Amino acid sequence: MQQIQYTGEHLWIQYLGYGLIILAFVSALYTSLTSFLSRRQDDTDVKVAMERWSRYGLQFHAVSLFSVIGLILYMMNAHYFEFHYVWEHVSDDLPVKYILSAFWEGQEGSFLLWMFWNIVLCALLWRRRDEFTFLNTGIIMSVQAILLTMILGVYFFDYRLGSNPFLLLRQSMDIPLFKNPDYVSLIKGNGLNPLLQNYWMLIHPPTLFLGFASTILPFAYALSGLISKKYLDWLRPSLQWSLFAASILGLGILMGGIWAYEALSFGGYWAWDPVENMSLVPWLVLIAGIHAHLIARSTPYSVRSVFVFYFLSFALVIYSTYLTRSGVLGDSSVHAFTSLGLGWQLVGFILLSLSVPLYFLLKKRKEIATPSEEEQFSSREFWMFIGSLILLFSAVLITFTTSIPVYNKLLDLAGGLINQDFKSWHRSAPVDVVSHHNRFQIWIAVIIGFLSGLTQFLRYAGQRKIKLGWKQITPVIISAVAAMMITGISAQWLNKTFTSLYVMLFAAWFAIFCNVYYLFTLKLGGAKHWGSGIAHAGFGILLLGIISTGINRRNLVPERFFQEDSVFQDNKDNVDKHFLLFRGETKFVSGYQIDYLSDTLEGRFRKYHITLKSQDSLGNENFIALNPDVQYDNKMMKVAAANPYIKHYWDHDLFSLVAQIPRIQMDAEEASKAEDSLRYHHYVAGVGDTIDGERHRFVINASDTGWRSHEVPMSEGDLGLQLRMVAIDKADTARNALLAPSLVLKSSTAYRFPSNDGRLGLRIEISDSVAYRLAEERNRFKPVQFRLKPGQSIELAKDLKVKLTGFDKNPQSEDYQAISGDIAVAAVLEVEQDGRLSIMKPIYLIRGREELPLPSMDLRRGLRMFFEHIDPETETMDFSYSRFELPKRFPLRIAENVPRTDYIVMEIIHFPGINLVWIGSLLMVAGLAWASYQRKK
Amino acid sequence: MKRSIIIALLLVGVAIALLISASRDITSYASFADARISGNLVKIVGVLDKSKEMNYDPVADANRFTFYVKDKSNESLKVVLHAAKPQDFELSEQIVVTGRMAGDVFDATDVLLKCPSKYKDEEVYIKSKS
């Protein structure tokens, strides 16, 4: 094949990029090797040398990896669309601020983000150096090397290892376009998914990835502890990092929830989506690990469990990576990445992350000291450990259901081995995945709520014998009584009374009261324990929020006199979730008066203006403006997303969404199709005539030469024609409408302004042929000049007499807006035409140095007066007038099957107590962060 | 020692019970024929039958959208979705409808679409087109 010499490609970036990735890979391996070796050296000189090399290696690695990232950002910012990654995620119209979002939208970018954080974490470890730092660095850099294979893009025989972000578009696909040596100038980018063009996408992914990445810290410490046989020593320095990881990962998950709530259309903060689940599960296990860790720090118990939990938490992060990136989730998740063929590579990664720690754990498990006596029933460690196990339960249950696509995949694999088709054995996720998970997780949360209250007041026992005293019992009793009382009140607020609700509310309040009580019992010196009190109280608040949003989330529905049909009794939620709203027609929904005022197109957004009006018990009216919008895709061809608008109040939110808009506004293709499908009938009629249409009668009441439009303002020499018509439904005369089609001729262009009525489905337009007639008319008449002194009158034509009666020093006109410095005066003219008298006030205006006469128009009779000049010396005024005749009969096109475009389908959700969810989760994050900060000391 | 073993066994027991309970929710993809026989809430995987009409008239009822789905055994049946028409519906490659039979039609409470994402299609956008 002939080699094509391409022009316009920036190949140097590709060469540099390939080189940098290889350098980063090799330096990661080198760093991890020297770090491991440094530990094994007995000779101090060699050890010091190894440590130095390890440090240089890390620095070198950091520089190469940051350069890779910088280079990608550079080519994205420069719009080098010859690169597949740039083409896929950037488009010419992408705002610069979203370049970062575009960078981590793709798999390669998000892997790089992960690796970036790994380096930052290494740097943090080196700042607080301890005996495990080199082993940790070795472990982190080994993981780093594995991550780098995901973007290497080199071939081993037929298997491609990783997907390289510097791949050229023409290397990734084979299409005829690439026969053109100058193809680069022809292509444009695909662009960032509009749903991700949102500021949450600038902060949520980096936070979440820092959370994912930092689970490697407890993992690395635990593994270092095993390898170096310091089974207990690692517990002290690692605790702050475990807490740090849990706090950041928690924050990342929370941000995801906020993003889903603020930007997505499903109306909620948690959907039990596989990707959400798999970010939650490592966090749950990490939290279980932290509790075991705390036990192990204060007592001889739970040391082995800490290892297991931390190893598992990291392995689950890798498993979650596999689920989201291998394509195995397929259609079951909204956020799954597209498959890049990394499946097997990721499976290998999971196996490694499980087997390496397992190997060391099995090998050394006998050496880990465990006390012969078991935990005492009334000790803190016993109940904390039960809590950890319950968190593990939660994680197991969530993973079990979320992994269904993996079971199917395994079935297929097994089937492939023995040549059988197991497709019929495939299983699907539960029909109602939300209630499936909630059924278990709510009760797990309730148990955790009880435990986090009870355990707070217990003491670590260790090997000592302890007994419960009033010090432990009193606070629990007080909190329980307080919780009991407020449970009743909050159940009333929620307006529901069933036993399980009481239990749930009680658990939440109990956790809150116990932990607030606990916080008050702490002296100032107990700052170390504030974190625990804050986080657990936060959990109680979160639980309250989950209960209240879950139970009392309701859709605003149209007021009705009869109940919905009985078929859907078990799914009432779904019935009437959406309701229709016509522009200009008031509707009543759940105690609100709702009005759809207008919509405006702003860039790629169509913004809606909707008001809700309600009356409180005192009769005060309360207005709420809602402005949801829909977002068109990057080419303005189709609606890409509907963005909710949320009105926040202290105790509830109103979530509003435009769920449907008229098809012709949704899709440019539909619009032209709809236009084609209109059936026009042609008529010719004059003023006073009645047109007998298909379903309507049309009466032309009047015609004039007026035209007032802000889009197309009228100027001298323009000629307009407007008809005033009434349309009446033949079958129902109460259904009628006023219409005013018009046409305007500006120099040689005719603008047609059809008149629509959505309710009757009508469109009337004046045929273009009138424009020729108007143009002829315009050529025929010429302005006629005349001159008057005050008080003088003149007969301009047989039927037209004009008298200058005076002046108006403060002229007012729709066409005139005063600007300071204007000299404006209007002549008051008494015009007698056809025996009828009227007053016309043309304006003489000097603005700057220009004379700008503004005409006065008598639209009915086609008469225009201009006040052109004042001669101060002779006190004479120059005027001109023009008159023209309107056609007597007008050709019209009328369609009576116009689809309505003046409606939207809306959804409004009332979310009570949503702020409790945010406050509670923020407190949990803050508590963890505080605890981590305290352990730094 | 005894107590830990009891607790451990208890927990394992509870875990197994919960997992069994959870696995009951896990369904297999059904066909319309299955749905007709069982009468239960089922999930049906199929494709949009584009040869038959799709109807969404929000002016008449904003919560009623009807279309035809061809299931895995190639039976095409009318589906009534009691909600607004989802976006990009026509583009779907695969449809999963959740619901049950109601007379001759399938009453759906939920649909899940699998759409060819524009980020997947290997089509180069050429500047002059836009």
Separation in Å, CA A41 to CA A46, A47, A48: 7, 5, 9
Asked if A69 has any chain B CB less than 8 Å from its own CB, the reply is: no
Asked if A659 has any chain B CB less than 8 Å from its own CB, the reply is: yes
- Residue A419: left if φ>0, alpha if ψ -120 to 50, beta else—which one? left
pLDDT over 80 at A600, yes or no:
yes
Tokens 């440019």 correspond to: A668
Last residue of a domain, one of A192, A215, A231: A192
Q: Which amino acid is at A818?
A: A
- Among A182-191, A213-222, A788-797, the range of highest mean pLDDT: A213-222
Q: What pLDDT, on a 0 to 100 scale, did the predictor assign at position A899? A: 80
- Of residues A210, A217, A220, the one with CA closest to residue A114: A210
State the pLDDT confidence band at B48, using cuts at 50, 70 and 90.
confident
pLDDT over 50 at A90, yes or no:
yes
Contact A825, A808 (CB under 8 A): yes
What is the pLDDT averaged over residues A330-340? 55
Q: Which residue has the higher pLDDT, A455 or A661?
A: A455
Contact list in A for residue B106 (CB cut-off 8 A) is none
Q: For residue B21, tell me if it sits in a domain.
A: no
Q: For residue A576, tell me if it sits in a domain.
A: no
What is the pLDDT averaged over residues A804-816? 79
- Residue A334: left if φ>0, alpha if ψ -120 to 50, beta else—which one? alpha
Q: What pLDDT, on a 0 to 100 scale, did the predictor assign at position A712? A: 64
What is the pLDDT averaged over residues A500-528? 89
Closest residue in chain B to residue A390, using alpha carbons only = B11
pLDDT over 50 at A378, yes or no:
yes
Q: What pLDDT, on a 0 to 100 scale, did the predictor assign at position A710? A: 56
What is the DSSP secondary structure assignment for residue A828, as one 8-state letter? E
Bridge partners (DSSP) of residue A743 are A721, A752
What is the pLDDT averaged over residues A573-588? 76
Q: Which amino acid is at A506?
A: F
Query: Which of A383, A905, A906, A908 to mutate: most B Cβ within 10 Å?
Result: A905
Contact A802, A829 (CB under 8 A): yes
Minimum mean pLDDT among A338-347, A449-458, A463-472: which range?
Answer: A338-347
Express each pLDDT in A878-907 by its tens digit: 888 887 777 788 889 999 888 877 888 889
Nearest CA-CA distance, residue B49 and chain A, Å = 19
| H/E segment holding residue B67 | strand B65-71
Q: Which amino acid is at A489?
A: I
- Residue B86 domain boundaries: 28-114
Express each pLDDT in A160-173 by its tens digit: 788 899 999 888 77
The three-class DSSP label of residue A754 is: coil
Instruction: Pull the structure tokens for residue A290.
Output: 């932290």
The per-residue b/e assignment along A707-742, b for 16 or more CB within 10 angstroms, e otherwise, is beeeeeebeeebbbbbbbbebbbeeeeeebbebebb
Give every CB contact of residue A320 below 8 A, 6+ residues apart in sequence: A212, A275, A278, A279, A281, A282
Q: What percent of chain A has pLDDT over 90?
A: 40
Q: What pLDDT, on a 0 to 100 scale, did the predictor assign at position B122? A: 36
Asked if A393 has any chain B CB less than 8 Å from its own CB, the reply is: yes
pLDDT over 90 at A925, yes or no:
yes
Instruction: Pull the structure tokens for residue B87.
Output: 């976006």
Give every CB contact of residue A586 below 8 A, 6+ residues apart in sequence: A593, A594, A595
Q: Is B118 in contact with A190 (Cβ distance < 8 A)?
A: yes
pLDDT over 60 at A807, yes or no:
yes
pLDDT over 50 at B124, yes or no:
no
Q: Is A660 in contact with B29 (Cβ distance < 8 A)?
A: no
Q: Angle at Cα A403 formed by Cα A445 and Cα A263, nearest 5°?
A: 65
Q: Which residue has the higher pLDDT, A139 or B119?
A: A139
Q: What pLDDT, on a 0 to 100 scale, did the predictor assign at position A711? A: 60
Q: Is A440 in contact with B18 (Cβ distance < 8 A)?
A: yes
Q: For residue A6, tell me if it sits in a domain.
A: yes
Does A338 lie in the same domain as A458?
yes
Separation in Å, CA A523 to CA A61, A159, A217, A936: 47, 62, 31, 20
State the pLDDT confidence band at A633, using cuts at 50, 70 and 90.
confident
Asked if A702 has any chain B CB less than 8 Å from its own CB, the reply is: no
Nearest CA-CA distance, residue B44 and chain A, Å = 10
pLDDT over 80 at A534, yes or no:
yes
Does A454 lie in the same domain as A352?
yes
Q: What pLDDT, on a 0 to 100 scale, did the predictor assign at position A562? A: 40
Minimum mean pLDDT among A417-426, A447-456, A607-616: which range?
Answer: A417-426
Q: How far apart are CA A554 and CA A912, in angstroms?
A: 9
Q: Is B82 in contact with A575 (Cβ distance < 8 A)?
A: yes
What is the DSSP secondary structure assignment for residue A750, as one 8-state letter? E
pLDDT over 70 at A375, yes or no:
yes
Does A301 lie in the same domain as A181?
no
Q: What pLDDT, on a 0 to 100 scale, did the predictor assign at position B60? A: 77
DSSP for B14-52, written as a single string: HHHHHHHHHHHH-BPPB-HHHHHHH-S-EEEEEEE-TTS
State the pLDDT confidence band at A709, using cuts at 50, 70 and 90.
low
Minimum mean pLDDT among A88-92, A439-443, A755-759, B88-92: which range?
Answer: B88-92
Quote the number of domains for chain A.
3
pLDDT over 70 at A567, yes or no:
no
What is the DSSP secondary structure assignment for residue A160, as one 8-state letter? E
Q: For residue A913, tell me if it sits in a domain.
A: no
Q: State the CATH number of the domain containing residue A48.
A: 1.20.120
Q: Is A374 in contact with B87 (Cβ distance < 8 A)?
A: no
Nearest to A187 among B14, B43, B126 (CB): B126
Q: What pLDDT, on a 0 to 100 scale, did the predictor assign at position A572? A: 44
Backbone torsions φ then ψ of A557, nearest 5 degrees: -125, 155
Does A37 lie in the same domain as A171?
yes
Q: Is B59 in contact with A175 (Cβ distance < 8 A)?
A: no
Asked if A392 has any chain B CB less than 8 Å from its own CB, the reply is: no
Calculate the CA A232 to chain-centre distance: 45
Q: What percent of chain A has pLDDT over 70?
A: 94
Q: For residue B85, tell me if it sits in a domain.
A: yes
What is the pLDDT averaged over residues A646-670? 85
Tokens 């499946």 correspond to: A343
Last residue of a domain, one of A428, A462, A496: A462
Q: For residue B18, tell me if it sits in a domain.
A: no
Give every CB contact of residue A457 below 8 A, 6+ residues apart in sequence: A471, A472, A475, A476, A514, A518
Nearest CA-CA distance, residue B1 and chain A, Å = 6
Nearest to B29 among A169, A377, A428 (CB): A428
Q: Is A397 in contact with B26 (Cβ distance < 8 A)?
A: no
Q: For residue A336, tell me if it sits in a domain.
A: yes
Q: Which amino acid is at A544?
A: L
What is the pLDDT averaged over residues A412-420? 85
- Of residues A405, A353, A413, A349, the one with CA closest to residue A161: A349
pLDDT over 90 at A246, yes or no:
yes
Q: For residue A293, tell me if it sits in a domain.
A: yes
Q: How far apart are CA B22 and CA A675, in angstroms?
A: 53
Asked if B11 has any chain A CB less than 8 Å from its own CB, the reply is: yes
Q: How far apart are CA A880 and CA A386, in angstroms?
A: 98
Asked if B72 has any chain A CB less than 8 Å from its own CB, the reply is: no
Express each pLDDT in A848-862 by its tens digit: 777 777 778 776 677
pLDDT over 90 at A930, yes or no:
yes
CB count in 10 Å sphere of residue B49:
20
Asked if B106 has any chain A CB less than 8 Å from its own CB, the reply is: no
Contact list in A for residue B124 (CB cut-off 8 A) is 87, 169, 173, 175, 177, 187
The three-class DSSP label of residue A849 is: coil
Express each pLDDT in A101-116 by its tens digit: 999 988 899 999 999 9
Last residue of a domain, one of A419, A440, A462: A462
Q: For residue B14, tell me if it sits in a domain.
A: no
Asked if B25 has any chain A CB less than 8 Å from its own CB, the reply is: yes
- Calculate the average pLDDT of chain A: 86
State the pLDDT confidence band at A563, using cuts at 50, 70 and 90.
very low
Does A412 lie in the same domain as A275?
yes
Q: What pLDDT, on a 0 to 100 scale, did the predictor assign at position A55? A: 93
Q: Which residue has the higher pLDDT, A413 or A671?
A: A413
Q: For residue B129, tell me if it sits in a domain.
A: no
Q: Is A393 in contact with B25 (Cβ distance < 8 A)?
A: no
Contact list in B for residue A332 (CB cut-off 8 A) is 112
User: How many Cα atoms occupy the beta-carbon half-sphere of A792 within 13 Å?
Assistant: 13
| Count of all residues that appear for chain B in the document | 130
Nearest CA-CA distance, residue B42 and chain A, Å = 7
Does A7 lie in the same domain as A147?
yes
Q: What pLDDT, on a 0 to 100 scale, did the predictor assign at position A716? A: 63
Number of residue pairs across A and B with CB atoms under 8 Å? 134
**ipTM score assigned to the predicted complex:** 0.77
What is the pLDDT averaged over residues A374-395? 90
- Residue A865 domain boundaries: 782-886
Q: For residue A224, tell me if it sits in a domain.
A: no
Quote the number of domains for chain B.
1
Q: What pLDDT, on a 0 to 100 scale, did the predictor assign at position A865? A: 85
Q: Angle at Cα A549 formed by Cα A544 and Cα A553, nearest 5°?
A: 155
Q: How far apart are CA A882 and CA A865, in angstroms?
A: 7
Does A179 lie in the same domain as A45?
yes
Q: What pLDDT, on a 0 to 100 scale, did the predictor assign at position A280? A: 96
Asked if A396 has any chain B CB less than 8 Å from its own CB, the reply is: yes
What is the pLDDT averaged over residues A228-248? 95
What is the pLDDT averaged over residues B85-98? 76
Q: How far apart are CA A47 and CA A43, in angstroms?
A: 6
Helices (H) and strands (E) in chain B, counts: 2, 6
Separation in Å, CA A555 to CA A43, A480, A581, A658: 73, 34, 15, 14
Q: How far apart are CA B104 and CA A567, in angstroms?
A: 13
Q: For residue B1, tell me if it sits in a domain.
A: no
Q: For residue B9, tell me if it sits in a domain.
A: no
Nearest CA-CA distance, residue B27 and chain A, Å = 5
Q: What pLDDT, on a 0 to 100 scale, did the predictor assign at position A451? A: 95
Contact list in B for residue A903 (CB cut-off 8 A) is 58-59
Bridge partners (DSSP) of residue B66 are B55, B80
pLDDT over 50 at A569, yes or no:
no
Minimum mean pLDDT among A2-6, A534-538, A622-626, A640-644: which range?
Answer: A2-6
Q: For residue B51, tell me if it sits in a domain.
A: yes
Contact B84, B59 (CB under 8 A): no
Q: State the CATH number of the domain containing residue B85.
A: 2.40.50.140
Q: What pLDDT, on a 0 to 100 scale, did the predictor assign at position A715? A: 65
Q: What pLDDT, on a 0 to 100 scale, did the predictor assign at position B118? A: 39
- Of residues A895, A882, A820, A821, the one with CA closest to residue A856: A882
Q: Is B59 in contact with A580 (Cβ distance < 8 A)?
A: yes
Nearest CA-CA distance, residue B33 and chain A, Å = 15
Backbone torsions φ then ψ of A228, nearest 5 degrees: -90, 5
Instruction: Pull the structure tokens for residue B41.
Output: 């809430």
User: How many Cα atoms occupy the beta-carbon half-sphere of A477 within 13 Å?
Assistant: 6
> What is the pairing mode between strands B105-114 and B76-81?
parallel
pLDDT over 60 at B129, yes or no:
no
Asked if B63 has any chain A CB less than 8 Å from its own CB, the reply is: yes
Nearest CA-CA distance, residue A334 and chain B, Å = 9
Asked if B26 has any chain A CB less than 8 Å from its own CB, the reply is: yes
CB count in 10 Å sphere of residue A759:
16
State the pLDDT confidence band at A23, using cuts at 50, 70 and 90.
very high
Query: Which of A168, A392, A396, A574 to mutate: most B Cβ within 10 Å?
Result: A574
Q: What pLDDT, on a 0 to 100 scale, did the predictor assign at position A617? A: 78
CB count in 10 Å sphere of residue A439:
16
Separation in Å, CA A793 to CA A225, A806, A830, A853, A882: 111, 12, 9, 21, 17
Q: For residue A425, tell me if it sits in a domain.
A: yes
Asked if A370 has any chain B CB less than 8 Å from its own CB, the reply is: no
Q: How far apart are CA A840 and CA A836, in angstroms?
A: 13
What is the pLDDT averaged over residues A675-692? 87
